[in-house]
Amino acid sequence: MGKELYDTNEEAKALFEKANDILGFRITDEMFEGTDEGLKQTNITQPAVFLHSAILAKTIAGFKPDMLAGHSLGEISALVAANCLSFEEGLKLVAIRANAMQKACEANLSTMAAIIGLDDAVVEEVCASIEEIVVAANYNCPGQLVISGSNEGIDKACEALIAKGARRALKLPVGGAFHSPLMEPAREELAAAIEEATFNTPNCPVYQNVSTKGETDPATIKANLVAQLTSSVKWNQSVQNMIADGAIKFTEVGPGKALQGMLIKINKEVERDGIS
């Protein structure tokens, strides 16, 4: 994960080594030689994904986007790519975010599930009817909404949503109920770190998960980033707003092609590619 970039680009190598120093351990060893199981640990996963995305964006020749967005954790990568946050401050926030979320996961047994083939309104209605904590967490694309909550709540919601006609209700292999009220302890810890960090006016609008709008005001960006941990990721709505504001080509920067897959379902007409 990111090894080719490390081996072939001196600027990237220097940033990876700087990350090792900031984190206090060699995350590059985990990224390049680690096990799948090791990479799934939240305190490894989040910095690893951030580093791959942010370092790629900083080393792509001629990288000058008109607008940016990031899905969940990717929002911090987008803010670094926009020079709203420095690479160093972005990485520190990611590390604090990952550790705070890990602690919140351990405090409350919880999970997430992908619901396929139902209208958002139906999913929202079912979640609201469950007595346990269950909320709509990730509005990924039409017909795909991820829910988040307590283990018992997710089980009840999945059963009810299948009865409502969902094609699939698939529990995800995640450590906890991200983007739900169960992340409140993590939100409080991250909020303190965000308040101390320096946020600059970005080079271009960053479409944030909470507001779905292209934001340029540092104070607004900070507030939205704080709210993100316990709020829904409104990715579908954000991409639709980017298209309405003139986006015609989307480039996914970082590991995987998940966002390109979502984009196809949001709008088949726009051009898309990826750099990983």
Concatenating the DSSP letter of every residue in 80-109 gives HHTTSS-HHHHHHHHHHHHHHHHHHHHHS-
The predicted pLDDT at position 36 comes to 84
Q: Which CATH class is domain 3-106+181-275?
A: alpha beta
Residue 39 pLDDT exceeds 90: no
Strand intervals (E) in the chain: 68-69, 110-116, 134-141, 144-150, 168-171, 206-207, 214-215, 249-253, 271-275
Phi/psi for 158 (5° steps) reads -60, -45
Q: Dump pLDDT digits (tens) for 144-203.
A: 999 999 999 999 999 999 999 999 999 998 889 999 999 999 999 999 999 999 999 999
What pLDDT is attached to residue 174? Answer: 85
For residue 92, pLDDT beyond 90: yes
- Token pair 């309405």 is at which residue? 244
Q: What is each CA distance from 3 to 13, 78, 160, 274, in whole angstroms?
A: 9, 21, 44, 17
Assess contact for 167 and 206: CB atoms under 8 A. Answer: no
Token pair recorded at residue 5: 């970039």
Token look-up 């984190």 returns 23
Over residues 47-71, the pLDDT tens digits come to: 999 999 999 999 998 899 999 999 9
The pLDDT assigned to 270 comes to 95
Compute the distance between CA of residue 260 and CA of residue 274 in angstroms, rounded to an integer. 8
3-class SS of residue 269? coil
**Residue 37 confidence (pLDDT):** 83
DSSP string, 52-75: HHHHHHHHSTT---S-EE-STTHH
Give the residue extent of every domain in the chain. 3-106+181-275, 113-171
The architecture CATH gives domain 113-171: 2-Layer Sandwich (3.30)
pLDDT > 90? residue 121: yes
pTM: 0.95
The 10s digit of each residue's pLDDT in 219-272 is 999 999 999 999 999 999 999 999 999 999 999 999 999 999 999 999 999 999
- Active-site residues: which are they? 72, 179
Please state, in angstroms and as integers, the Cα–Cα distance from residue 53 to each residue in 78, 122, 154, 203, following that order.
9, 34, 31, 17
Give the pLDDT score at 86: 98
Q: Which of 230, 226, 270, 265 is nearest to 251 (CA)?
A: 270
Specify the residue for token string 């970005």: 202
Rounded CA-CA distance 137/140 in Å is 9
Give residue 18's pLDDT band: very low, low, confident or very high (50, 70, 90). very high
Cα–Cα distance measured from residue 177 to residue 112, given in angstroms and rounded to the nearest whole number: 6
